[in-house]
Amino acid sequence: MKLLSFLGNSEYEEITYVLDGQRCKTRYFPIAACHFFEPVELVLFLTQAAYDRHAVRLKNELAGRLPLTEVLLPHGRAEDEMWLIFNALTHATAEGDEIVLDITHGFRSLPVLAVLAAVFLQVAKRVHLRRLVYGAYDAKTGDGELAEAPVFDLTPFVTLIDWTVAADRFLETGDARELAKRLEEAQDEQHLRRRGGDLPRNLKGAARAIRKVSQAMALARSHEVMEWAARAVSRVERAADEVNKWAQPFSLLLGRITEMHAALAMDKPLADVPRTLLVQFELLRRYLNGDQLIQAVTLAREWVVSLVCYRLGYHLLDWEERRRVENLLNDALSRDANLGLEEVPQQRDIVHLWGRLRELRNDLAHAGMRENARHAEDIFRQSRHLAEQLEPLVSCLGNCPGT
């Protein structure tokens, strides 16, 4: 594990730093951090002025206990110098390194830049940021020899970046799997710390439910989406108090999570077919809004079959009856006649839409491996009109003859 630390050009005063019951008296917090975390290497970032003022004294105090790498930085007075600093930070680590980042003696905007670099490195180099710490000299208690300064562990706040990425993915596509992961980690972290009986018990249950919804959405399993969405609503509500206490970033999304899942929730999809078709249409719109076109086209094609099954009194999940409906639609398309579909409202619109969906779905299903395959841009353009093409059929649910 490496310790990444900084020195400025200030005059640092000796004080006892305190972390988790450990104490270390020094004027340089990097020395205390070495004592607290026992890294195998100290990488020290500093300007030439800071080097001239402090390097010899710090080395004497370090007394060769571990390897020291000194990285000289520019002052960061212009954008190009800021990028030089960023590059120096990123080049100080190797793939998979574990690091402790100490920002105590960072000057001006350097602590912010250092944190952003560390977050980037977690993705770019799979660096594991074990701790982010700050020796709070200004929060000291006592005077003289008895003066002590707490060490603030800022690591939990770095996870805000992870929460941000997860929240953005959910709001953009409806995929809550990363949010579920963050919830599970929040519960595990509290149990590892063993805070007596006051521990979260429901975060993982909520995480499992919203993950199941997202998995079902990824595979266009609409009935499974509905069933798990119903469970997600109740489990997220059950976990609300724990979220507010132990997963605060998620608390900002509680209302949105509940709202989005409630719109898809059905305990028994087959018990109310018109509502099931309406919920499937809502799911289709979400696919389109998130540019998930394979799922959207797949669901739209099956939605038309389900609609006709419902109008003919067939069971929605009976394979033989669905095949019969598909054959009726294909025959009507090829013969320009609606034999067998006479009792179905809007049969001409349905057959016309079926023809377009059939071709579009086949093109996607074969991954473009056929002559005259549509270009991706054309598929995006055509697919974006699916919702408005289905809208007249959706508006007829519950109002057309035979309902």
One-letter-per-residue 3-state SS of the chain = CEEEEEECCCCCCCEEEEECCEEEEECCHHHHHHHHHCCCEEEEEECHHHHHHHHHHHHHHHCCCCCEEEEECCCCCCHHHHHHHHHHHHHCCCCCCEEEEECCCCCCCHHHHHHHHHHHHHHHCCCEEEEEEEECHHHCECCHHHCEEEEEECHHHHHHHHHHHHHHHHHHHCCCHHHHHHHHHHHHHHHHHCCCCCCCCCHHHHHHHHHHHHHHHHCCCHHHHHHHHHHHHHHHHHCHHHHHHHCHHHHCCHHHHHHHHHCCCCCCHHHCHHHHHHHHHHHHHHHHHCCCHHHHHHHHHHHHHHHHHHHHCCCCCCHHHHHHHHHHHHHHHHHCCCCCCCCCCCHHHHHHHHHHHHHHHHHHHCCCCCCCCCCHHHHHHHHCCHHHHHHHHHHHCCCCCCC
Question: What is the reported pLDDT for 402?
Answer: 43
Question: What is the reported pLDDT for 373?
Answer: 86
Assigned token pair, 210:
């919203």
Q: How far apart are CA 347 and CA 341, in angstroms?
A: 6
Angle at 244 between CA 238 and CA 248, to 5 degrees: 130
Evaluate whether 132 touches 155 at the Cβ level (below 8 Å). Answer: yes
Q: How far apart are CA 365 and CA 368, in angstroms?
A: 8
Question: What is the reported pLDDT for 341?
Answer: 85
Which residues does residue 150 pair with via DSSP β-bridges, in sequence order?
A: 18
Evaluate whether 109 touches 85 at the Cβ level (below 8 Å). Answer: no
Query: Which amino acid, one-letter code, is at 204?
Result: K
Write down the residue that tokens 């009792």 correspond to.
Answer: 343
CA distances from 280 to 241, 255, 276, 301 (A): 31, 22, 6, 11
Q: How many CB atoms lie within 10 A of CB 320?
A: 8
Closest CA to 214 of 178, 189, 184: 178
Evaluate whether 9 touches 50 at the Cβ level (below 8 Å). Answer: yes
pTM of full prediction above 0.85: no
Q: How far apart are CA 65 and CA 26, in angstroms?
A: 15
Q: How far apart are CA 293 and CA 299, in angstroms?
A: 10
Evaluate whether 54 touches 7 at the Cβ level (below 8 Å). Answer: yes
Question: Residues of the chain whose pLDDT is less than 70?
Answer: 194-196, 336-338, 398-403
What the chain holds in terms of domains, given with CATH numbers, is 2-153 (3.40.50.10640), 159-267 (no CATH), 285-403 (no CATH)
Question: What is the reported pLDDT for 24?
Answer: 93
Which residues does residue 38 pair with via DSSP β-bridges, in sequence order?
A: none
Evaluate whether 25 touches 63 at the Cβ level (below 8 Å). Answer: no
Evaluate whether 217 touches 283 at the Cβ level (below 8 Å). Answer: yes
CA atoms within 13 A on the CB side of 385: 9
